[in-house]
Chain A
């Protein structure tokens, strides 16, 4: 076999390996129910759950508990299937947290508590103003 074909085959093999590594371990957005089932089966893969903060009738966020040292907190997240879960996050409350429209938590269940390694917040109009404020 010619050397160039050998190299070409090697290159293609690596490329295929790359595609498989991406597709094989692809994480996807799941609900709390699926996340819980995964943890029951001993699967501790980090997963993404999309949801909203629990709010009362007035639209105020409820269920946020900051620990005494302000270095971690728990909150209640309602996923797209309306299941509520308490989520623990080992970082101070991000100050734009209460304003977020949507929260993505990345983590896994440990026992019965969802422990988030990372939370991603989608805030309204972060970079673009949507209306001219009255009284400008």
Chain B
């Protein structure tokens, strides 16, 4: 049955939200330009319209979620992004896997922020909300899904489209009401708890940049060139903090889930958020500087506007399909390019024109800033941040240049950098050095008077302390590369300098210490990045001495380790041993061996071939059905240090045909000094018959050992049986032999059958997958009491493992917490200032 109502309702809400945002834009515009009497009426109408808009957005979300939650696979969105056995908490992630849903998330945050603006502002409501509502018009149009008849023009892509309309397939001609039994599922990489919270956080940061932009436009529009800064500043800090947090969550997710061995890959999609964030942080600094000394007002306008435009540009990059060839995780093209360009161009046009018209009227300070003044250095700092962003922008935009060149008939053939990570890192490193030095020194300029000699005395101590610290750190850590040494010294200086300032501030005015705390966090992050990335070391070196390729030089050392099951190898001070493939239990914690279960036909249910245990607790009895996460296989790898301490890691791999093969996720051993980061890079594909060696036979007596593939085996006993699983016993004589094999990690007892029916014989072999051997009972010799055991061998189970050491990576993660703490502290302070003024009816 096709559930039409819910989709129609959802689509109705989409249209309503679009229309309401149009009305709200118009009404807020009128409220801004009208005189006092009419103003109140327009405001009332505008508010109503915006509330209708916000409620419709909520309605859209509820409708879409109920489609996903109830598995209405007649809708393309549910079919493409969800499946029956998806846990409920990941259904939330389904929401933003698709483009439409992520637009919806963005719209939702804007609507919510709009409501907050309505309630926290008096004077600023009308002009800022006019900007807000206008943005919502563009965003709502992206999910409108309306085709203008006659023109054949499609506006937006609706999430409520039916499967049969989205993907015309022959089956719908036979039965238009066909509903698939199951969806195609959520991208397995997104089935991670970080993916439940990272996108909403990032989009909240994205959405929050609209607030300062709206204030800046309102300030220009209403000729309140100075007054917008105070209400906008807490929002700028808020969006800077949240956007930064969202970026770092994404990095942490990548570190935990993806297997490229890091948290940041300079992928265009990552850069698309990093660039506006740098400009936003620059904007925070000049705005704070303005609040203190009435300087850098024009810069504040420019940076806030540029930040917002870069957010739109980033959206265009990620969502238009321009990055198709150069990024691994951009969205596919939904045919929204025209709309996205229009959206971008509209706000570029409005803000640039408005800024140009008002430029002459924006007050500036005539007096030159002294070199010893804080404003001067804050300005330099903001400039460094913007230049850093500019560098990433110029490089990331390459696919755009190609498109533009092609549009004008040329041949755009610029390829992305062969080694993007090295290229960006080597340049961004110097910007980081400058930022670290400025953040260390800047705080001194900030809190001290403009006096050259006194400053020098003040700054001498932290400089000396950091130099002394580095003299000790450098030889211990073994850093030799000059750029890294420079970064280490400047990072240490930023840390020490800000720590000095912080201790002093805590005594006098702890409320004002947000800046110092944030800078300490930044310094920690820089130091963590320096060590974890600059000195990340592959430890899974191929030390078997086997030549990889005779054509290759020695530098061609292998960075992967081939591990056969239960055969020890040595790596990074550990004896490591691959123990076999495992399945994760569903509903309780623990892993079971894949060799001890057989498939049932359902992907998430297996049957136990033997009693199953996890940590000495019985999980299932023989023959019982066990619920597992069928699509994941974990590879149990045991590590034993020289001191005899052991731990086990379970790197994961997912063989997923529709995703194109193997997806490997790392498992990480967290240690104080460094993380041990491991993932599988190759696994055996399903065995086929040809891979078995030719059958070999031995004649044995029971209880007498024989050798199979270097293992000691004994035929324990042979007995007559009346039942054999899966065999119709009518007229069948069956003999079962039990063999004992001594493997590296324990004994195995395969059971082999010899069946006679009339003049034909049959064999039921059993495989010991841990040993790569398959046994047969081939013949019985009553005259000598001997039995013929047949066996063939195959390659033993194996995995290829890659392992890296990431020193001091936890300093980076700890630094992010400190940084966020700093953002929070300054946010609280600046919001307090705004509230005080507003309650005095100033704003």
A residues adjacent to B (C-beta < 8 A): 2-4, 7, 11, 14-15, 18-19, 21-22, 26-29, 45-48, 67-72, 88, 90-97, 99-100, 104, 106-107, 111, 113, 115, 117-118, 121-132, 134, 136
Closest beta carbon of chain B to A28's beta carbon, Å: 5
How far, in whole Å, are A3 and B390 apart by their CA atoms in the complex? 23
Q: Is the interface of B mostly helix, strand, loop or mixed?
A: loop
Do residues A71 and B548 form an inter-chain contact, with CB atoms below 8 A?
yes
Total chain B interface residues with beta-carbon distance under 8 A: 58
Sample of 7 further A-B pairs with CB below 8 A, known A104-B325, A123-B661: A22-B391, A26-B398, A71-B542, A72-B558, A88-B552, A127-B332, A136-B180
CB-contact partner of B551 in A48, A88, A100, under 8 A: A88
Q: A92-B800, A95-B685 are in contact. Are A130 and B167 (CB under 8 A)?
A: yes
Q: Report B797 CB to chain A, min CB distance, Å.
A: 13
Inter-chain contact A72/B169, CB cutoff 8 Å: no
B328 to A, closest residue via Cβ: A120
Cβ-defined contact, A48 with B662, below 8 A: no
- What is the chain B residue whose CB lies nearest that of A47? B418
13 A–B pairs (Cβ distance < 8 Å), ordered by A: A22-B391, A22-B394, A69-B542, A72-B549, A95-B655, A100-B660, A111-B551, A115-B552, A117-B419, A118-B418, A126-B659, A128-B80, A134-B170
Q: Return chain A residues, CB-CB under 8 Å to B325.
A: 104, 122
Residue of A69, A130, A134 with most chain B CB atoms under a 10 A cut-off: A69
Cβ of B413 within 8 Å of any chain A Cβ, yes or no, is: yes
Say whether B192 faces chain A, with CB atoms less than 8 Å apart: no
- Kindly name the residue among A92, A104, A132, A136 whose own CB sees the greatest number of chain B CB atoms within 10 A: A132
Cβ-closest 5 pairs across A and B:
A96-B661, A92-B682, A46-B418, A95-B661, A96-B660
Chain A residues whose C-beta falls within 8 Å of the C-beta of B655 in the assembled complex: 95
Once A22-B395, A91-B560 are accepted as A-B contacts, the answer to whether A134 and B171 lie under 8 Å apart by CB is: yes
Q: Let me know if A28 and B660 touch, CB within 8 A.
A: no
Among candidates B379, B562, B662, residue contacting A95 with C-beta atoms closer than 8 Å: B662
Bound Cα distance from A114 to B492, whole angstroms: 44
Q: Contacts A67-B549, A123-B660, A134-B171 hold; do A4 and B368 have CB atoms under 8 A apart?
A: yes
Is B118 on the interface with A (CB-CB < 8 A)?
no
The interface residues of chain A lying within 8 Å CB-to-CB of B682 are 70-71, 92-93, 95
B479 on the A face (CB < 8 A): no
* Chain B residue at minimal CB-CB distance from A72: B548
A29 to B415, CA, bound (A): 6
The answer, yes or no, to whether B380 is at the interface (CB within 8 Å) is: yes
By the criterion CB–CB under 8 Å, are B661 and A19 in contact?
no
Chain B 172-204 interface 0/1 with A at a Cβ cutoff of 8 Å (1 = within): 000000001110100100000000000000000
Contact check: which of A29, A68, A71 meets B413 at CB < 8 Å? A29
Q: Is the CB of A88 within 8 A of B549?
A: yes
Instruction: Using CB atoms and an 8 Å cutoff, list the residues of chain B in contact with chain A.
Output: 80, 163, 167, 169-171, 180-182, 184, 187, 325, 332, 368-369, 371, 376, 379-380, 383, 387, 390-391, 394-395, 398, 413-419, 427, 542, 544, 546, 548-549, 551-552, 556, 558-560, 562, 655, 658-662, 681-683, 685, 798, 800
CB of B398, distance to nearest CB on chain A (Å): 8
Taken together as a complex, chains A and B put the C-alpha atoms of A21 and B392 apart, in Å, by: 12
Taking CB atoms, residues of chain B closer than 8 Å to A107 are: 418
Q: Complex Cα distance A121/B559, Å?
A: 21
Residues of A within 8 A of B556 (CB): 90
CA distance A107 to B419 in the complex (A): 10
CA distance A95 to B655 in the complex (A): 9
In the complex the two chains form, what is the Cα distance from A65 to B328 in whole Å? 27
For B184, the chain A residues whose CB sits under 8 A away are 129
- Which B residues lie within 8 Å of A93 (CB)? 682
| CB-based contact B800/A71 at 8 Å | yes
- Expressed in whole angstroms, the minimum distance between the Cβ of B85 and any Cβ of chain A is 15
- B170, B369, B394, B562: the one contacting A18 at CB < 8 Å is B394
Q: How far is the CB of A68 from chain B (nearest CB, A)?
A: 8
Question: With a CB–CB cut-off of 8 A, which chain A residues contact B660?
Answer: 96, 99-100, 121, 123-124, 126
Contact check: which of B380, B419, B662 meets A7 at CB < 8 Å? B380
| A69 and B417 contacting across the interface, CB-CB below 8 Å | no
Query: Which residues from A are CB-within-8-Å of B681?
Result: 91-92
- Partner of A136 from B182, B368, B560, B658 at Cβ < 8 Å: B182
How far apart are A102's CB and chain B's nearest CB, in angstroms?
9
CA gap between A136 and B181 in the complex, in Å: 6
Contact A99 B661 (CB under 8 A): yes
A46 to B417, CA, bound (A): 9
Q: How near does chain A come to B278, taking the closest CB pair, in angstroms?
A: 13
Return the contact of A11 from the options B187, B383, B549 (Cβ within 8 A): B383
Chain B residue numbers with a CB within 8 Å of A94 are: 661-662
Residues of A within 8 A of B685 (CB): 95
